[in-house]
Amino acid sequence: MLATSLAGVGVSIAIPLVTKAMIDGPIANREVGAIWPLGLLALGLGILEAVLIFWRRWVQSNAVLGLETAVRHDLYERLQELPMAFHGHWQSGQLLSRVTTDLSSIRRFSGFGLIFLIINITQLTVVSGVLLHMYWPLGLVVVGAAVPIIYLSMRFEKAYVVVSRRVQDEQGDLATLAEEGAVGIRVIKSFGRSRHVSAQYDGAARQLYDTSMDKVRLSARFWTFLEVIPNLAVVLVLLLGSLGVGRGDLTPGTLVAFIILMLSLVWPVAALGVILAMAQEAMTAAARVLEIFDTEPAITSGERVLERPRGHLRFEHVDFRFPDQDDDGPGGLVLRDVNLDVAPGETVAIVGATGSGKTTLTALVPRLYDVSGGRITIDGVDVRELTLPNLRQIVATAFEEPTLFSMSARENLMLGRSDATEEEVDAAVEVAQAGFVHDLPWGLDTRIGEQGMSLSGGQRQRLALARAVLAEPKILVLDDTLSALDVHTEKLVEAALRHVLENATGIVVAHRASTVMLADKVALLQDGTITHVGDHSELLATVPAYRALLAAEATDADDLVGAGSGRGDGKGQA
């Protein structure tokens, strides 16, 4: 690409020199026969220049699109590698802006700006040297015109890089608002806050408009100077050159060649503003993309693989604090000195008040976060020593807030196990009582929309539960997965889950006594640590805090059915 471009510059300079030789030679001497060879040479050079341009663009398009595709692939892979702490701090709109807008800026500069920056600088340098050699007084005029251009370019670059970064950051903020408005449309409409949300979006859009206009005004002033200075130089060269021809200091052919070469510099100089603007946008975009690439994943894959895991899970003196917490003392710990042993095939219910750390505890098993102290082992092997694909094949999680993707119900189900048979899919659907999928317009092949918004909360939970069951993990983590189900459906799901949990180690976050009954034993989590472990009846009889917690949950559930019922009063008194 560079070789053909530089060859094209050489050819474009050679054509005016051939013209000079033709005017000062055969035309001046009226030798018609000698015109043909030079004319054909000029024609051949023109054709060669066109071929070189075609070849450069052909190579360029493949190279640049390949570059963009490779960077986009690597960037998406890096986003998948980065831990939950990273995604918790970054707005999705900012990430989306980097993957789309910023990569497009890099592609445009790589495909146009970069090559022409090299070509134009080369052309300016070489042509200026040729002009100085042809007639140095006029050459000095051309070189002198470059001084204000260089000065203005340096000032423009410093100002433009600042405003360009502001524009790109504000585009990311606007993308975040647009995404939140689309995903949260039901909440917005239900609270009648459409005007409020629209005003927020409009304010961000106006801020982006004002900043973009600042960028446009800055560019317009710079490009105006780049248009004026070369044209003034051309006028001055034409005037002084005509005087030189009149005095006999240079030939007409030299003046014509000089003017042609001079005009060939007008576009490179005028385009310099566009190219520098593109360069600054691409540099800013690259810096924003590199912010992601330069973030080292805090959770890295180990090297060990458990070929035949049994699912023996142990928490050994586990401490945890979120990575962004500065408090290094015990007050900063979300979990502290957690000890728990879950035998293969055993199910443990984690019970605790809101904010006690139940969800955080379950997130440590598949290494969505890493422990801050102590360790978690599977069959005696620290989970940090296992490869991430192997660990997440052993452990499957169904979350309270299920995440579904804008694909078919079947594809959502098979996300954790792509080789599942039709019978296995049907069995998982039956366990989760998700038979509603067969009633969708195209059954399992029905696309359920972004975030599964076309389904109810209970349907989304059941589909996510079926996905976890279909993975056939050795350790199944259920993070309050049944919270959105009605009592009748919950009983059916629990009955089916009992058969599934017979062949898997289970960790169940429970708020209801009925869910606790799924477990072989119960762990009470209080203030970030497990204080009691035992079966349900034992803890109910001996631990007042456990009894009070379940009583409060039961009272809340009864209040939903009907305030003042005898059963609710009894539970409340208990």
Residue 194 sits in the same domain as residue 237: yes
What value does the mean pLDDT of the chain take? 82
Reported for 403-406, long-range contacts at CB under 8 A and 24+ positions apart, including other chains, are 403/451, 403/464, 404/448, 404/451, 404/452, 404/455, 404/460, 404/463, 404/464, 405/450, 405/452, 406/447, 406/448, 406/449, 406/450, 406/451
Question: Domain with 329 in it: what CATH number?
Answer: 3.40.50.300
Q: 529 and 550, same structural domain?
A: no
Whether the pLDDT of residue 565 is over 50: the answer is no
What does the block give as tokens for 476?
Answer: 């199944």
- Tell me if 103 is assigned to some domain: yes
- What contacts 24+ positions apart, CB below 8 Å, involve 67-75? 67/106, 67/107, 67/110, 68/103, 68/104, 68/106, 68/107, 68/110, 71/103, 71/106, 71/289, 72/99, 72/103, 74/293, 75/99, 75/103, 75/289, 75/292, 75/293
Per-residue pLDDT at 12: 86
- What's the CA gap between 102 and 285, in Å, rounded? 5
User: What pTM was estimated for this model as a whole?
Assistant: 0.65
Asked if residue 57 belongs to a domain, the reply is yes
* CB-CB neighbours of 378 under 10 Å: 25
Residue 494 lies in a domain: yes
Based on the fold, state whether residues 533 and 393 are members of the same structural domain: yes
For residues 51 and 77, membership in a common domain is answered with yes
Q: Are 211 and 166 in contact (CB under 8 A)?
A: yes
Q: Is the pLDDT of residue 566 over 50?
A: no
The one-letter amino acid at 316 = E
Q: Which pLDDT value is given to residue 571?
A: 34
Q: For residues 62 and 209, state if they share a domain.
A: yes
Range of the domain at 359: 313-402+468-538
**The domain that contains 194 carries what CATH number?**
1.20.1560.10
**Closest residue by Cα to residue 362 from 470, 475, 473, 464:** 475
Least confident of 82-86, 273-277, 504-508: 273-277
Flag whether 298 is in a domain: no
| 426: in domain | no
Please indicate, yes or no, whether residues 223 and 362 belong to a single structural domain of this protein. Answer: no
Measured CA angle at 493 (ends 491, 494), to 5 deg: 65
Q: Residues 237-288: pLDDT tens digits?
A: 888 888 888 887 878 888 888 888 877 777 777 677 678 778 888 888 899 8
Which residues, at least 6 apart from 436, have a Cβ–Cβ distance to it below 8 Å? 459, 462
CB-CB contact of 78 with 296 (8 Å): no
Q: Helix (H, G, I), strand (E, B), or coil: what is residue 66?
A: helix
Query: Among the residues of 400-543, which ranges form H helices?
Result: 409-413, 422-431, 457-470, 487-501, 513-516, 536-542
pLDDT tens digits for range 362-407: 989 999 889 999 999 999 999 999 999 899 889 988 877 778 888 8
Domains held by the chain: number: 3
Give the residue from 260, 293, 326 where a domain finishes: 293
Angle ∠(344,345,349) on CA atoms, nearest 5: 105
pLDDT in tens, 145-187: 777 877 777 777 778 878 888 888 888 888 888 877 877 776 7
Boundary residue ending a domain (236, 259, 293): 293
Of 426, 422, 429, 454, nearest to 441 by C-alpha is 454
Residue 74's pLDDT band (cuts 50, 70, 90): very high
| 362 and 245 inside one domain | no
Q: Is residue 320 part of a domain?
A: yes
Q: Are residues 105 and 242 in the same domain?
A: yes
Q: Which two tokens stand for residue 403?
A: 């995440």
What pLDDT digit, counting tens, does each position of 47-72 carry?
998 998 888 888 888 888 888 889 99
pLDDT for the residue 314: 94
- Identify whether residues 171 and 101 lie together within a single domain: yes
Task: Check whether residue 282 and residue 336 sit in a common domain.
Answer: no
Residues 59 and 108 in one domain: yes
Q: Is residue 417 part of a domain?
A: no
Q: What would the mean pLDDT of 514-543 be, rounded to a whole number?
A: 87
Residue 323 has pLDDT above 80, yes or no: no
Candidates 393, 406, 416; CA nearest to 465 is 416
Residues whose CB falls within 8 Å of the CB of residue 129, separated by 6 or more in sequence, listed in order: none
Kindly report the CA angle at 136 between 132 and 140, in degrees rounded to 5?
80
Specify if 299 maps to a domain: no
Query: Amino acid identity, residue 345?
Result: G
Q: Cα–Cα distance between 417 and 565 in angstroms, integer?
A: 46
- 246 exposed, middle or buried (CB, 10 Å; 0-12, 13-18, 19+)? exposed
Structural contact between residues 404 and 450, judged by C-beta atoms closer than 8 angstroms: no
List Cβ neighbours of 197 (8 Å cut-off, separation of 6 or more): 181, 188
Within 10 Å of residue 265's Cβ, how many Cβ atoms? 21
The string of pLDDT tens digits covering residues 415-432 is 878 888 999 999 888 888
Integer CA distances (angstroms), 337 to 149, 296, 333, 374, 535, in order: 67, 28, 10, 8, 21
Write out pLDDT tens, residues 99-153: 888 898 898 888 888 888 888 888 888 888 888 888 788 878 877 877 787 777 7
In this structure, are 9 and 124 located in the same domain? yes
**Under 8 Å between Cβ of 412 and 463:** yes
Judged by average pLDDT, the poorest of 150-154, 315-319, 437-441 is 150-154
